[in-house]
A and B are shown apart, each in its own frame.
Chain A
Amino acid sequence: AQRVTQPEKLLSVFKGAPVELKCNYSYSGSPELFWYVQYSRQRLQLLLRHISRESIKGFTADLNKGETSFHLKKPFAQEEDSAMYYCALISGNTGKLIFGQGTTLQVKP
């Protein structure tokens, strides 16, 4: 079964500390993974996708097929990074996204 798991509901760090939001997936075949972010009172928006290997707002994520993981990392957290983060996987021919449970990142001053 296709599944995305984010084991942490809440991650709280101090400003300037490194951040790693965990994501594991279950998928038969070559997965296409994304991270979406939802800031307070805003709509969900794309943060990054694994195929483009880009870095957005200092965040990076590497697909590790051996560990079936796609953890989101940032070396130095900022207060404005506080938001809900969702890991997602594309499924099927229609391109529907399957989301993980989400992790709330709280960056304290």
Chain B
Amino acid sequence: GAVVSQHPSWVICKSGTSVKIECRSLDFQATTMFWYRQFPKQSLMLMATSNEGSKATYEQGVEKDKFLINHASLTLSTLTVTSAHPEDSSFYICSARDRAAGGSIRTGELFFGEGSRLTVL
């Protein structure tokens, strides 16, 4: 099946620094990727929809200046947490749909990355 890879798997940073997380679709092209945030033993909260070649669409309540998303190619989206604070510590997960394999955009399977654990000290 299609593979989505995230890097780094975990990162620890100091408060006030910025951290970039990469999400790659390894064997398919993804015009759209999604970024989620997951707190321990809780649900995945959709943060934003990353659109290749255009601006990301953010969910209500998500600060676009805080969480910068760039989708520069059909296989790569990046999430940058700017001026990170301890409350930004979380598990960040990306996902992508292989439209070519999965049928319509509404029914094609979403493939998930392994997640990136961010700890801000």
**Chain A: interface residue total (CB-CB under 8 A):** 21
Give chain B's interface residue range (CB within 8 Å of chain A): 20 to 34
One of B39-47, B66-74, B79-87 contacting the partner: B39-47
A102–B112 touching, CB < 8 Å:
no
Report A67-90 CB contacts with B as 1/0, cut-off 8 Å: 000000000000000000010001
Are A96 and B34 neighbours in the complex by a CB distance under 8 Å?
A: yes
Interface string of B83-121 (1 = CB under 8 A from A): 000000000010101000000011111101111000000
A93–B49 Cα distance when bound, in Å, is 11
Task: Count A/B pairs, Cβ under 8 Å.
Answer: 54
Q: Please give me the residue from chain A that is nearest to B108 by CB atom.
A: A95
Q: Is A51 among interface residues, defined by CB-CB distance under 8 A?
A: yes
Interface contact B43-A101, CB-CB below 8 Å = yes
- Contact, CB under 8 Å: A94 / B49: yes
Q: How far is the CB of B26 from chain A (nearest CB, A)?
A: 13
**B49/A96 in contact, CB under 8 A:** yes
A43 near B34 (CB under 8 angstroms)? no
Contact of A99 among B32, B41, B43, B49 (CB under 8 A): B43
Residue of chain B at shortest CB distance from A101: B43
A101 to B42, CA, bound (A): 6
Measured between beta carbons, the chain A residues less than 8 angstroms from B112 are 43-45
Given the interface contacts A43-B112, A43-B113, A44-B93, does A95 sit within 8 Å of B106 by beta carbon? Answer: yes
Q: Is B57 interfacial (CB-CB < 8 Å)?
A: yes
B interface residues with partner A (beta carbon < 8 Å): 32, 34, 36, 41-46, 49, 51, 57, 93, 95, 97, 105-110, 112-115
